[in-house]
Amino acid sequence: MITRTLAVLAPLAGAVLPLSDVPDPVFAQELVGPGRAILPSLLDQTVSAPISGVLRILTPHAFVVVGQDDRAVLVHLGVDAHSGRQPAAQALAQVGQQVSATEPILRWLPSRTDPALHNACPIVALEAITKALLGAYQGDISAGSHLFAWQTGGS
């Protein structure tokens, strides 16, 4: 079987956290998949595609890009950010659009999110297994930098 590795890039700048540090059990327990979270460093961010593919889901607080090999990556803006009274983000792309890694998807204003909510942004390899993620970055990261590699296949 052929091993395939997909590079997942940071969709925004900030401090990288393990998902276990996210105060939401769905993400912390990797119920939708493994990944990392980024605590944003700026109060106004352009959030970009972490991989190249088709934008399948787009809401004011999350989006999913599905790559050529059907691997999907979720970017969720804040924990329970959708509970805020005001829209947290402005769409810069459309569902069904082919996007390249680092292409802008949302303009996010964490400062307009309910202050009681946590701004950590989970980036999740949907339906992956934890051991499929390699070389996960730790520390401060710039948008567009390598966040982790997602490996499939092998023997």
pLDDT at position 155: 47
What would the pLDDT profile of 29-70 be if each residue is shown by its tens digit? Answer: 999 999 999 998 767 889 999 999 999 999 988 999 999 899
CATH for 4-143, among 2.70.70.10, 1.10.150.120, 3.40.720.10, 1.20.1440.230?
Answer: 2.70.70.10
In this prediction, residues 85-101 reach a mean pLDDT of: 86
Known catalytic residues? 76
Whole-model pTM: value is 0.91
Angle at 61 between CA 52 and CA 13, to 5 degrees: 60
Give me the residue spans of the domains in the chain: 4-143
